[in-house]
Amino acid sequence: MDCLDEIDDPRKPDNGTLHDFQEILVIAIAAMLSDCDTVEDIAFEDISFVANGRNHRPRRYLGYKTPHALFTKHLHSRHTAVTLQTWMHPLFLLIAFSS
C-alpha cells in the first residue's frame, strides 16, 4: 500500500473527508479486478472482510487493544445493560399493552 502514497488526494480537505484516500483506492481497485460496475456489485462479504480486519487490529491509541475487544467489553458491561434496560422498558410496555 505504500505505493499508493504517491497518488495525491484530489479531494478538498475542508470538505470533511471521512475516509482515507488509500482505502478508497484499494476498494476501487478490488472492485475493478472483480468486474464490479456499481457499488451494489461489491459483495457484503468483501466489505465485511475489510471491516473485520480493521476492527481486530490492535491500536496504539487504545492501549494496543482492538476496537472490537473494547466495544465488546463495553457492550457487556453492567452500565450498558442497565442503560439498555432503562431505555427499552417503555418500549416493551408499549408493545405489551398495544395488543
The model carries a pTM of: 0.40
pLDDT tens-digit series, residues 39-67: 677 666 677 777 888 888 898 888 899 98
Give the C-alpha separation, 77 to 60, whole Å.
Answer: 23
For residue 16, the model assigns a pLDDT of 65
Note the Cα 81 to chain centre separation in Å. Answer: 23
For residue 1, the model assigns a pLDDT of 60
Phi, psi of 36 (to 5 degrees): -90, 135
Give the C-alpha separation, 40 to 37, whole Å.
Answer: 8
For the chain, which residues score pLDDT lower than 50?
A: none
5 and 22 Cβ atoms separated by less than 8 Å:
yes
Domain coordinates of the chain in residue numbers?
Answer: 1-55, 66-99
Q: What stretches of the chain adopt beta strand conformation (E)?
A: none
